[in-house]
Structure 1
Amino acid sequence: MMKLGSFRSAALLLVGSFAAVAVAQTGGVQSSTGLDLPSNPKFIGSGDPNVRTATAIVNGDVITRTDVDQRMALILLANRGANIPPEEMQRLRDQVLRNLVDETLQIQAAKAADIKIEPREIETFYNRYVQNLKQTPKEFEAYLRSVGSSPNSLKRQIHGEVAWSRLQSREIEPFVNVGEEEVRSVIERLKASKGTQEYRVSEIFLSATPETAAEVRANLMRIVQQLQQGGSFPAYARQFSEASTAAVGGDLGWVRAEQLPEPLAQAAQQLQVGQISEPIPVPGGFSLLAVQDTRQLLTADPRNAVLSLKQMSLSFPAGSKRAQIEPMIQKLSQTAQTMGGCGRAEEAAATIGAEVVSSDQVRVRDLPPVLQNALLGMSIGQATPPFGTVEEGIRVLVLCGRDDQDVSTEPNFQQVYAQLEEQRVNMRALRYLRDLRRDAVVDYR
């Protein structure tokens, strides 16, 4: 499900509102309002601003401008209000509309296959999501409406994802075959490749024809710019990617270079962890590739270690300047380095008004690369330099313990089988969606 990000206040730009202009006619009368209004005003342009007309009709199902507006608000929220230039908003709206068309086709296809998604199921997924955000449904609904969206927009997306997943389970997965000998052959190749590099990668794929290639590439470059400004790759993958991995934020899992198409393999080998490629031409369109992590196949990696940490953090009043709080930041750093380890963290934090949060199951691999490098070079009881922002708070991490994990075991038959099966399901799902688009009757308004 789409990750909506934190619940900080953000000024989100919403588009698609209607304008209605009254034209004065000859013979107008002076009303009690003091305005020179016509006796029978007629609206021009978009008409009544309270009436949301259809943007597209997909096999008879209507997608309104409200649907597009509210889904756009979810995208902006997912990216923490990323500053999208005004000239890009219409292109974003066009892509959101295409996504909603695909979503509608997926829901319709599931219904045609007698797959029923009960409202209570959608409610269960929705409520579970809200609980994970530590909100009540009422609080979350108010928040969504405050940023221009609604619970129905998110529930519609949940409906689409559940419907598409179940459709694949019925119409695609039963017809995908992976043989035991094939799996064993892959396992033998993995054993022979022990020590070679693996990549945890994510993708965004957009289909293109020779006629649309330039436009699609330009659209992907705009996505790259938004991602480089702090946008969420999984959120963009869910909204824009046409690959079936969109449902999991574009995640391809752990792969070796030779498992990827040649252009993607070259990009994965050249990118650093956290970097995003430019649009890469692949059969049928273009892909963006993001390298989330790397490791050596069947080899122990220090980043598999599980850490016990304490975080000490300072929060500041709104509007505080860095120069004003610099003495407090220095005091936090000094206190963390001299307090004598985790055992005195709470006591030391109280002297400077800091908050302490403990976590005993933190994988090094799950941390940002900068923190990974810092913590792997630390001894028990040491603290990182301060990091963070004035707005979000300044914090340090204190290393309380470290358990190294050995994952240099042989590949598991079921894991290899599942990966091969997933790859083939993804390819068939993409073809299935293309067939749905080809056969659809879509009337754009």
Structure 2
Amino acid sequence: MKTKLTDYLRPLALATALFGGLTCGGQAFAQVQPLDRIVAIVDNDVIMQSQLQQRLREVRNTMSQRGVELPPEEEMRQQVMERLIAENLQLQLAERSGIRIGDEELNQAMATIAQRNNMSLEQFREALARDGMSPEQAREQIRREMLITRVRQRRVAERVQVSDQEVQSFLASDLGKLQLSEEYRLANILIPVPEAADAATIQAAEAAARDTYEQARQGADFGRLAMARSASENALEGGDMGWRRAAQLPPPFDTMVGDMQVGQVTEPIRTPPGFILIQLTDKRGGETQVRQEVRVRHILIKPSEIRSETEARQLAERLHVRLRAGEDFAELARNFSEDPGSALNGGDLDWIDPNSLVPEFSQVMADTASGELSEPFRTPYGWHVLEVLGRRATDASQEYREQQAANLLRNRKFDEELQSWLRQIRDEAYVEIKI
């Protein structure tokens, strides 16, 4: 399954010891059910032993499936605990900010996850059951992941601004041209340095980073080193950063990756959060960006308080008959279409990217040959009849390139801001670890 579901469920207070009425030789024996216990206090919330153990099991299973050797138990426990603390703090922020995920939105998210994994919703539920997870547990976990994403968007993304001048400067730079040609699969290890660290602390962190680098250079598994030593948010994923373009990386990594070979690891580099090592695990890209566009026009008939669903469909069918009989499409669109954006242009939507349209419209458009008229069909907007006027493949436009550049610059700033923000909320929180 491509999408990871992590258990954030907070266990309810477990039942106290159960005393049964069993006797043997006149003696009563108690059947004792072990209690769950608190392993960390995080501001106004707690992390339970059962949560920690469940997450440790998930991490072990993930590593086993990847064929990665497990780090020492204590190191892995510390990493998992820090991840749970960070998630708990973000969920508390979401709650205080009034962020909610409704049932309808959650249903759509589950359907989307199933679709991305090429499953029906029923097949998705069966896959969860095989992994020992009920649909209710999965819904709760997805809800919490969505809450964390939403609070990050609100607290971090709003700090990130990209100006038009930055976009144009980036496109004109050698780095801007490079990012359009290749993508890199990267992993990282962060050896942290506190903001007010003294010289001895910095030297110790540098020595740890240098030792980590030497082990990686001599063939030690980078993912295992990341899980055991890294303080980055993705440590439990073996430091995996996913696919990135050079422009999404902070200096000096943005200019270094282009010269790296797959498997190579950078020497430790000092950054504000600490010493960072990056490994290049794969690379791809270099193809020309091509976009498929369709020239299409349509007539839209909407149901309303004065026109029922049936009447709207029947009107669309009558217009379809008239179009088949040879009446002018543009004239009928100007007289009948209720799409304010295209009616005055004879229903013409001009050249358009199919991905920008609702799926129902896009599918009918794909099934209609150039120069042909569709049958009447329904979308969330109402009843349509469309005509495909032509198709073309175009190279990425300047507008597309500018949007790409803006997204890359924004993602790079977001990653930097996210790490700083996570460190900030951790430093400002009251955290008491009780194991």
Q: Quickly name the TM-score band, shorter chain normalised.
A: 0.5 to 0.7
The 8 Å contact of residues 257 and 280 in structure 2, kept in 1 or not, is answered as no
The 8 Å contact of residues 186 and 241 in structure 2, kept in 1 or not, is answered as yes
2:233 alignment counterpart: 242
Cα distance change of structure 1 residues 282 and 71 upon mapping to structure 2, 3 Å threshold? same
The structure that has the greater radius of gyration is 2
Secondary structure of the residue aligned to 2:131 is helix
**Alpha-carbon distance in 2 for matches of 1:199, 1:180:** 24
2:401 alignment counterpart: 412
Letter in 1 for 2:428: D
The 8 Å contact of residues 86 and 426 in structure 2, kept in 1 or not, is answered as yes
1:27 alignment counterpart: none
Give 5+ residue unaligned stretches, structure 1: 6-29, 33-37, 305-404
Q: How does 1:106-255 map to 2 (within 5 A)?
A: 106-118=90-102, 121-130=105-114, 132=117, 134=119, 136=123, 138-145=125-132, 155=139, 157-190=141-174, 198-206=182-190, 208-209=192-193, 210=202, 225=220, 241-242=232-233, 250-251=241-242, 253-255=244-246
Letter in 1 for 2:268: I
**Alpha-carbon distance in 1 for matches of 2:422, 2:162:** 22
The 8 Å contact of residues 264 and 289 in structure 1, kept in 2 or not, is answered as no
Cα distance change of structure 1 residues 227 and 139 upon mapping to structure 2, 3 Å threshold? farther
The match for 1:425 among 392, 395, 414 is 414
The 8 Å contact of residues 246 and 257 in structure 2, kept in 1 or not, is answered as no
| RMSD of equivalent CA atoms | 4.7
Indicate whether 1:441 and 2:430 are aligned: yes
Give the drift of 1:152. 6.7
The 8 Å contact of residues 82 and 226 in structure 1, kept in 2 or not, is answered as no
Indicate whether 1:292 and 2:276 are aligned: no
Cα distance change of structure 1 residues 90 and 63 upon mapping to structure 2, 3 Å threshold? same
**Alpha-carbon distance in 1 for matches of 2:4, 2:44:** 30
Structure 2 length as normaliser, TM-score? 0.53
**Alpha-carbon distance in 2 for matches of 1:98, 1:191:** 35
Secondary structure of the residue aligned to 2:72 is helix
Residues 303-333 of structure 1, C-alpha deviations (whole Å, 9 max, x = no match): x9xxxxxxxxxxxxxxxxxxxxxxxxxxxxx
Q: How does 1:8-407 map to 2 (within 5 A)?
A: 50-82=34-66, 88-118=72-102, 121-130=105-114, 132=117, 134=119, 136=123, 138-145=125-132, 155=139, 157-190=141-174, 198-206=182-190, 208-209=192-193, 210=202, 225=220, 241-242=232-233, 250-251=241-242, 253-255=244-246, 260-262=250-252, 265-266=255-256, 269-272=259-262, 275=263, 277=265, 280-283=268-271, 284-285=273-274, 286-295=276-285
Give the drift of 1:425. 2.2
Letter in 1 for 2:244: G
The 8 Å contact of residues 71 and 96 in structure 1, kept in 2 or not, is answered as yes
Give the drift of 1:64. 1.8
Letter in 2 for 1:56: A
**Alpha-carbon distance in 2 for matches of 1:133, 1:408:** 29
Give 5+ residue unaligned stretches, structure 2: 6-22, 194-201, 291-392
Residues 212-262 of structure 1, C-alpha deviations (whole Å, 9 max, x = no match): 56667878979x955679x9x9xx7xx974279x9x9623522269x6422
Residues 320-349 of structure 1, C-alpha deviations (whole Å, 9 max, x = no match): xxxxxxxxxxxxxxxxxxxxxxxxxxxxxx
Give the drift of 1:81. 2.9
The 8 Å contact of residues 183 and 417 in structure 1, kept in 2 or not, is answered as yes
How many residue pairs are counted as aligned between the two chains? Answer: 293
Cα distance change of structure 1 residues 161 and 271 upon mapping to structure 2, 3 Å threshold? farther
Give the drift of 1:412. 0.8
**Alpha-carbon distance in 2 for matches of 1:114, 1:39:** 55
Give the drift of 1:80. 5.0
The 8 Å contact of residues 263 and 281 in structure 1, kept in 2 or not, is answered as no
